[in-house]
Chains A and B, each alone.
Chain A
Amino acid sequence: EIVLTQSPGTLSLSPGERATLSCRASQSVSSSHLAWYQQKPGQAPRLLIYGASSRASGIPDRFSGSGSGTDFTLTFSRLEPEDFAVYYCQYYGSSPYAFGQGTKLEIK
């Protein structure tokens, strides 16, 4: 069973800054099956990135994903106020489909 570990737990930054979130898998996984989700308080998660680097429909290009093997990254080129939320990575190559514990991106 794949375990995903995200870091940092909390990231405090200001709008306009660049941000990098990390997701590490307990064993090498296919990048074709790595996704990132955004969740705001009281809302359902929203798919941002799938296949490690493909943006979902309607997702702005300031969001980008990369990585392979065990290490994956979600990058924000320039933070907007609406980007402050919790982010989860997910592996969906085989069940059980695992999620990371989340990174909270908060306003500094």
Chain B
Amino acid sequence: QVQLVQSGAEVVKPGASVKVSCKASGYTFTDYAIHWVRQAPGQRLEWMGWINAGQGDTKYSQNFRGRVTITRDTSATTAYMDLSSLRSEDTAVYYCTRGVGGRMEFWGQGTLVTVSS
């Protein structure tokens, strides 16, 4: 069965960076895209970007102004989301999802990132 297992919760200081991992199993990793979506407390879901796990090409939301980088390691069937210059408004649950043409069929369990000094 398809599974996306994310790394654990993080507490980071303002201005720092965080890297969240997403380990995929149960399917051919390189056949699908991985999207990253976040949800701040009480807010709507917000799409951050995606990576074609096969080719490695990426696309990002302009809302993050170059602060987000998505990578993957095909040998480890793992995708990564790196968010830099963190501020309090970045406190959120971050999800990875397996995408098919933009629809998000399977989701990881989520990773809480708390930005606090």
Contact = CB atoms under 8 A, between A and B. Distances in A.
Interface of A: 33, 35, 37, 44-47, 50, 56, 88, 90, 92-93, 95-102
B103 A47 contact: yes
Nearest to B43: A101
B105 A56 contact: yes
Interface of B: 35, 44-47, 59, 61-63, 95, 101-105, 107-110
B104 A45 contact: yes
B95 A44 contact: yes
Contacts, number: 51
A99 B105 contact: no
B62 A45 contact: no
Given A44-B110, A99-B44, A93 B103 contact: no
Given A88-B45, A98-B47, A99-B46, A47 B102 contact: no
Given A95-B59, A95-B61, A35 B45 contact: no
Nearest to A32: B101
Given A95-B47, A96-B61, A102-B44, A33 B102 contact: yes
Nearest to A99: B45
Contacts of B47: 95-99
Given A33-B102, A97-B102, 9 more contacts: A37-B45, A44-B109, A44-B110, A45-B107, A47-B103, A47-B105, A90-B103, A95-B47, A99-B44
B90 to A, nearest CB: 17
A101 B44 contact: yes
B98 to A, nearest CB: 10
A82 to B, nearest CB: 18
13 contacts: A35-B103, A37-B45, A37-B104, A44-B95, A44-B107, A88-B44, A92-B101, A92-B102, A92-B104, A96-B61, A96-B63, A98-B47, A99-B45
Contact of A50 (B35, B46, B103): B103
A98 B61 CA distance: 10
